[in-house]
Chains A and B, each alone.
Chain A
Amino acid sequence: MTDAPYVLVVDDEPDVLNLVQMQLEKSGYEVLSAESALDALRLLREYGPPLIGVIDVAMPELSGLDLVRVLRGRPDTAAVPVVFLSARVLPSDVAAGEALGGSYVTKPFTRAGLLRAIEVELRGHKAVAQL
C-alpha cells in the first residue's frame, strides 16, 4: 500500500479513527489506521516503522501505553515518535504518557492542536537523530 513515510493512527473508536485519518490526510500526511493495538502490530510487521504514531490510550486487550512499551522494546521501533490522543485527562494519565516519551493531546482535539503536537515530536526526533 505504501512505501512513503506514514502516520500510524490507532483508536478503537471507528468514528474517531476516521476523523483523525481525515484530519491528517487533509494536512498532507499518508495515514495507516488500526482499530486496536494488535492490529497496529500487524501493520508494523507489514509496512515497517512509521514516521510517527498517533495512539489512543484506553483500548481493550492492549492499551495504547502497552503498545508503546512494545514499540520501545524493539530495536526498529524504539525511537518512533509518539503522540497520545486520549480522552483520559487526569494529570496522572498525562504523566504516564509522557513517561513513555510521547506528547499527550486530550480529546476533544482540534486539527491545529494535533498537528502542533506531531510537529513538535517530529522536530524533537530529528534533533535527537542528528546528535
Chain B
Amino acid sequence: MARTAESPLLGPSPSRGPSRVGAAGAEEALREAYERERQMVERLQELDRVRTIFVSSVSHEIRTPLTSILGYLELLSEQQDNLNEGQKEFLEIIGRNSQRLLSLIEDLLVLSRIESGSFQVLKEPVDIRSLVHAACREVWPRMRAASHELELHTSDDVGSVLGDSEQLQRLLVNLLTNAVKFTPPGGRIDVRADRGQRGIVISISDSGIGIGPEDLAEIFTPFFRSPDAHRRAIPGTGLGLSIAKTIVEQHDGSIECFSEAGKGTTMIVRLPHALVIRDRGE
C-alpha cells in the first residue's frame, strides 16, 4: 500500500515550498523564540547582577564586625604582659579564626566577580622574581610555623610579564597556601620560576599528602573539598583553586596539577609568551 502523505495524526503534509502564510508563521515563531531567548538572557544577567550586589553587601556587612574583632584584638595583644599563657593562646585562636572568616569573604567576593564577568585583569608590567618572592614572604610565617623547608629558585632571565600583579600574587599565595596546608609539618616546598621557549613557567611542588586520581579531576571545581581534607580537618573554602585557575585563564595561561596520593603535589602555571616583556637588547 502506498503511504499517503496525509495522516490523521500528522495532519496535512507541508506543501512544497512555504506558502506566504507558512513563511510569515515561521518568521513569527522565530521572532517569538528570539524574544524568549532575549528575555531569558536578560533574566540571567539580572540574576547575576543581583547576586554580585548581594555578595558584595554580605562582604561589607561581615567586614564591619570583623574590623572591630581584629582591631580590638590588635590593641589587646599589645598588652601581652597582663595576660597569662592560656589567655594569649585564646587570643591567637580568635585572631586565626577571624582571619579565616576574612579569607572566606574575600574568596567569595573574588569568585562572584569572576563569575559575573566584572573581574578585569589590569595589564601592567609585573616582575616575576619580585612577585614570587612577595608571595613566598606572605606565606612564610605559616611555612615556618609548620617547620617546612622552602627551596626558592628564580632564574636570572625570568623577567616580567604584562598582567595584574595583585591577582597574580593572589594566585601564587593560593597555591603556596595549599602546599603548606596539605603538607605535614617538617615538609619541603619547592618554588621555581623559569623562562621557557613558550613563556614563563612557575612551579610549586610539595612533599605533602598528595591527591588521589578520583579527586584530581575535581580540584578546580568551586567549593570542592576532598574527603581527605575533611577527614584531616584541613581548613579551607574550596574556592582557592577555582580562583587560581580563573586568574591564570584571565592571563591566557594554563595551570596543571600533577599528584599522587602520599607522594606530594606539583602545580605548574604557564604564562604565555605574548605576555612576556622582552628585555632591552633581546
Contact = CB atoms under 8 A, between A and B. Distances in A.
Identify whether the interface residues of B are mostly helix, strand, loop, or mixed: helix
A106 B61 CA distance: 13
B254 interface: no
Interface stretch (A28-36, A107-115, A118-126): A107-115
Interface stretch (A16-24, A47-55, A68-76): A16-24
Interface stretch (A1-9, A38-46, A83-91, A96-104): A83-91
A80 interface: no
A73 B174 CA distance: 44
Contacts of A109: 67, 71
Contact of A111 (B56, B74, B109): B74
A36 B137 CA distance: 39
Contacts of B102: 108
A87 B63 contact: yes
Interface residues of A, number: 19
A122 to B, nearest CB: 22
B169 to A, nearest CB: 15
Given A89-B109, A108-B66, A108-B102, A16 B71 contact: yes
Contacts of A91: 120
B67 A16 contact: yes
Contact of B60 (A15, A88, A111): A88
Contacts of A106: 63
Contacts, number: 53
A108 B63 contact: yes
B5 interface: no
A109 B74 CA distance: 10
B56 A87 contact: no
A111 B75 CA distance: 9
A58 B72 contact: no
A66 interface: no
B100 to A, nearest CB: 13
B70 interface: yes
Contacts of B109: 89-90
Contact of B72 (A19, A26, A107): A19
Interface in B45-98: 56, 59-61, 63-64, 66-72, 74-75, 98
Contacts of B56: 88, 90
Nearest to A57: B60
Contacts of B64: 13, 16, 87, 107
Interface of B: 56, 59-61, 63-64, 66-72, 74-75, 98, 102, 109, 113, 120
